[in-house]
Structure formats: structure tokens, C-alpha cells
């Protein structure tokens, strides 16, 4: 049976991995909506290849270019934030939320409100809107499937087990490209060095997050909302090989882990086929070739991000949204050459110290907290 699918953030790294799997299973999927930020040419190319119904650019100024590139195809072209939300709300059996940053929140919420399956890569959206998003999922009878590799691993390890039997959920972290760097060396890290991840090929923002460990911090908060076992049962371990994608330890002492190659097509395929399984072109896991799997404690002195994220999750309310927004601003400034690598976490801590909004109770209030936190982050950055 054919299912319809929308990919929000189709031109990104997760978008490409998703469409690669769809390309190999063309008779199983009908592509509804594909979206991008501003790359109209690439988006149009994908929309034509997959005979999408509609293509949307978030940047309204790119609409003429998109129209031009789609002329004669019969594919609808649109642009701007309202069009993005409308396209997400058209409803598809399956929506992949793969926009980067809080910019993906409103379209992801629009898809959730239509029900269906939402495969979530866009962790910043869940971190910012935690309770509001999980409540909307329940209210609208949607299914939220994590495709972040750690959360997909945990989801798989929890199948058939009641959460009250969980002793620990352990998120693995590669430690990023600067895992073994001294503080002094970290303070001189360049954007080019930060986006060269040893194991994964990802977009620029998450690559920097991986280098600062904010990625793991955001993932801790993501896990807190997806798997309500209590924050004190969530922990992080550094595992440089990125083969064990996360683990669940049960009260009887059994630990279940999910292993696989460092290829996002594995967790994405697990969501696309869930509760069945599908073939992927990914290299089989050759543990004899890999030889060793090693583990160590995270170092929160050099990488304070996980401590900041845990504190934000503990505080709850609008604080995770503040942490996320401040990090987005700081990462953009670092990529732009404006601040040192070690200022990213320091800056997030400064913003968190300056602003404690009341807990948001709606999507609009979350977006207001996000906007206010960004404004404060920019002001504090200029003052520093
Ligand atoms: P990317 O930068 O490669 O792609 C981002 C996509 O979002 C692109 O299609 C881009 O056009 C679109 N986009 C960017 N800004 C936008 C805006 N303001 N409005 C609308 N669309 C916008 O990023 P990615 O690496 O594919 O990551 C996407 C999400 O998935 C992130 O939240 C990331 O944390 C998460 N994730 C990625 C990976 C990975 O391996 N790449 C793994 C786990 C989770
Ligand atoms: Mg991850």
C-alpha cells in the first residue's frame, strides 16, 4: 500500500538521507510536500525527481526562482512562513521533521495537529516546546517516532518493556572532533575544524553542537520529553566509535543496546518501516573489523553544555527554549567568526542567568520566549 510522505527540510543532510531511502522504494511512497529554506534550485530538482505535489521555500524572496524552476511541472510552488505551515498542515501519512533549529517548530506542530506519523529529527523544536508538543501529539492522536540516532536506539530498546522497569537510559556521545583537546586548544578552534566530524556527515549547526556537546545536552532534554523515566535516570557516556547508539538498563540488570553503522539512514529506515523493517544500502556492522568499543565519562569542565542542559531540563518551563535559542545565536556567531568556540557555552550560561520567563502554555508563547531569548542573546553578545 502506498503512503504519502512530506519532508520538511528536504535539502538538508537528514532530508537527503530520507529521500535516498524513498528513491530506493519508489512504489511504497507518494511524496506530498518538500521544503527548504532558500535553495530553490535544489528544492525544485528534488520536487521534480519525486513528483511532489507542492514545494515550499521558507524564504519568500525565493518564490519567483522556485516558480521558474518548476514551470511546466504541475508542482505547486509557495514560500514564506505561513505557506510552510500550511504545507505541513496539508497532512501526510508520514512527515519527516528535518528543519534545523526552532524555525522547524511551527511547521512540525502544524503536522502534529493533522495526526499521522511524525518522524522527528528536529530536536530543537521538541527541546523548545517540550510539554506543549508532547501534549499536542497525544491530543491529536499523532505518533512521534524519533530519528535522532540515540533516541531511535532507545525507542527500539524500550519495545515490549514497561518504562517503570527502566533503571537507566544511557545516551552515547561520540565526544565530537575536539574530544581530546585542551581548553587552550579549544579556545582557538575554528569553524572549519568544528564542522569536520570524525564519524558523522551532518549539517553545520549540529556539527558545531556535537563539538561543544550541546548536541548531547539538547538530546538529554529531548530524551526527557520522549521517555518520561525521570531526569535522574538519564545519563550520558562518551563512546568515540559511535557504534552503540544508546542503551536501556532494566531493574533486573539487563542492558539492551542498539548497534549499527554511523549512517542516519539506519534510524530513518527504522522509523519509515516501523513497526516493520526494510532493507537499506548501509554497510553491515563488522565488529571484528571495528575491533574495540570504548567508553568513558564525559568531561563537563571542558564541555559544560551537558550540565547547562540538565539544569535547564530540571528548571523546565521556558528555560529549555532559552537554552536552545541562546545556543542557536551563539553557534551562528561562532560560524560567522564573531566569537571563540569556548564562548558558546559561556554565552548560553550568561543568557540563562539573565532571563527566566514564565512557563509558556501555548505554541505562540514558546515562540515569544524563543524570540525574546534571541534578542537578549544578541544584546549580551554585543556587550561582551
Ligand atoms: P541541514 O543544515 O543539513 O539541513 C537543514 C534543513 O532545514 C535544510 O533543508 C534547510 O533548507 C532547512 N532550513 C534551514 N533553516 C530553515 C529555516 N529558517 N526555515 C525553514 N527551513 C530551514 O541540517 P541537518 O543536519 O539535516 O539537521 C536537521 C535536523 O536534524 C537538526 O535539528 C539536527 O539537529 C537533526 N539531526 C541531524 C542529524 C544528522 O546526521 N544530520 C542527526 C540527528 C539529528
Ligand atoms: Mg543524535
Backbone angles phi, psi at 139, to 5 degrees: -65, -35
Backbone angles phi, psi at 57, to 5 degrees: -100, 135
In this prediction, residue 215 carries a pLDDT of 98
* Closest CA to ligand 1's atom 13: 37
Q: How many CB atoms lie within 10 A of CB 37?
A: 18
* Closest CA to ligand 1's atom 9: 9
* Closest CA to ligand 1's atom 32: 122
Q: Please determine, looking at this structure, whether the domain spanning 1-145 carries the CATH number 3.30.230.10.
A: no
In this prediction, residue 280 carries a pLDDT of 98
User: 148 labelled as ligand-binding?
Assistant: yes
Nearest by Cα to 127 from 325, 331, 377: 325
Domain boundaries, the chain: 1-145, 149-314
pLDDT by 10s per residue, the chain, length 384: 899 999 999 999 999 999 999 999 999 999 999 999 999 999 999 999 999 999 999 999 999 999 999 999 999 999 999 999 999 999 799 999 999 999 999 999 999 999 999 999 999 999 999 999 999 999 999 999 999 999 999 999 999 999 999 999 999 999 999 999 999 999 999 999 999 887 888 899 999 999 999 999 999 999 999 999 999 999 999 999 999 999 999 999 999 999 999 999 999 999 999 999 999 999 999 999 999 999 999 999 999 999 999 999 999 999 999 999 999 999 999 999 999 999 999 999 999 999 999 999 999 999 999 999 999 999 999 988
122 Cα: distance to centroid of ligand 1 (angstroms): 7
User: 11 labelled as ligand-binding?
Assistant: yes
Ligand sitting nearest the alpha carbon of 147: 1
In this prediction, residue 1 carries a pLDDT of 83
* Three-state DSSP state, 350: helix
176 Cα: distance to centroid of ligand 1 (angstroms): 18
104 Cα: distance to centroid of ligand 1 (angstroms): 9
Ligand sitting nearest the alpha carbon of 217: 2
In this prediction, residue 197 carries a pLDDT of 80
Using CB distances shorter than 6 Å, the residues near ligand 1 are 9-15, 36-37, 39, 58, 98-100, 103, 121-124, 148, 200, 202-203, 206, 264
In this prediction, residue 198 carries a pLDDT of 79
Alpha-carbon separation of residue 95 from 89, 91, 188 (angstroms): 10, 8, 40
pTM given for the model: 0.98
Nearest by Cα to 321 from 120, 113, 131, 111: 131
Sign of CA dihedral 38, 364, 225, 347: positive
Amino acid at each position: 500500500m502506498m503512503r504519502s510522505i512530506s519532508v520538511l527540510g528536504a535539502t538538508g543532510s537528514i532530508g537527503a538521507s530520507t529521500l535516498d531511502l524513498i528513491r530506493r522504494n519508489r512504489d511504497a511512497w507518494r511524496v506530498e510536500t518538500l521544503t527548504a529554506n532558500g535553495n530553490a534550485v535544489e528544492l525544485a530538482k528534488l520536487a521534480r525527481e519525486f513528483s511532489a505535489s507542492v514545494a515550499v521555500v521558507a524564504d519568500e524572496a525565493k518564490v519567483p526562482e522556485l516558480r521558474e524552476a518548476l514551470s511546466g511541472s504541475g508542482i505547486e510552488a509557495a514560500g514564506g512562513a505561513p505557506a510552510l505551515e500550511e504545507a505541513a498542515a496539508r497532512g501526510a501519512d508520514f512527515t519527516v521533521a528535518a528543519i534545523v533549529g526552532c524555525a522547524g517548530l511551527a511547521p512540525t506542530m502544524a503536522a502534529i495537529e493533522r495526526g499521522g506519523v511524525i518522524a522527528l529529527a528536529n530536536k530543537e523544536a521538541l527541546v523548545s516546546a517540550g510539554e506543549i508538543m508532547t501534549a499536542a501529539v497525544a491530543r491529536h492522536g499523532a505518533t512521534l517516532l524519533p530519528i535522532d540516532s540515540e533516541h531511535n536506539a532507545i525507542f527500539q530498546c524500550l519495545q515490549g518493556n514497561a518504562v517503570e522497569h527502566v533503571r537507566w537510559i544511557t545516551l552515547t556521545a561520540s565526544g565530537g572532533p575536539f574530544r581530546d583537546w585542551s581548553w587552550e586548544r579549544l579556545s582557538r578552534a575554528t569553524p572549519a575544524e568544528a564542522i569536520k566530524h570524525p564519524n558523522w556527515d551532518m549539517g553545520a549547526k549540529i556539527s558545531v553542537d556535537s563539538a561543544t556537546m550541546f548536541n548531547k545536552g539538547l538530546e538529554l532534554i529531548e530524551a526527557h520529553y520522549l521517555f518520561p523515566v525521570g531526569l535522574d535516570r538519564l545519563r550520558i557516556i562518551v563512546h568515540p566509535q559511535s557504534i552503540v547508539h544508546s542503551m536501556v538498563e532494566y531493574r533486573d540488570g539487563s542492558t539492551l543496546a542498539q548497534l549499527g553503522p554511523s549512517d542516519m539512514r539506519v534510524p530513518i529506515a527504522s522509523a519509515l518501516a516501523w513497526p516493520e523493517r526494510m532493507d537499506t544500502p548501509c554497510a553491515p556492522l563488522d565488529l571484528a573489523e571495528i575491533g574495540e568499543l570504548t567508553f568513558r565519562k564525559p568531561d563537563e569542565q571542558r564541555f559544560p553544555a551537558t550540565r547547562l542542559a540538565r539544569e535547564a531540563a530540571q528548571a523546565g518551563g521556558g528555560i529549555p527554549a532559552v537554552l536552545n535559542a541562546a545556543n542557536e545565536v551563539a553557534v551562528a556567531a561562532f560560524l560567522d567568526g564573531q566569537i571563540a568556540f569556548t564562548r558558546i557555552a559561556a554565552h548560553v550560561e550568561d543568557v540563562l542567568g539573565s532571563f527566566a520567563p514564565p512557563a509558556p502554555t501555548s505554541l505562540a508563547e514558546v515562540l515569544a520566549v524563543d524570540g525574546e531569548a534571541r534578542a537578549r542573546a544578541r544584546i549580551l553578545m554585543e556587550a561582551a
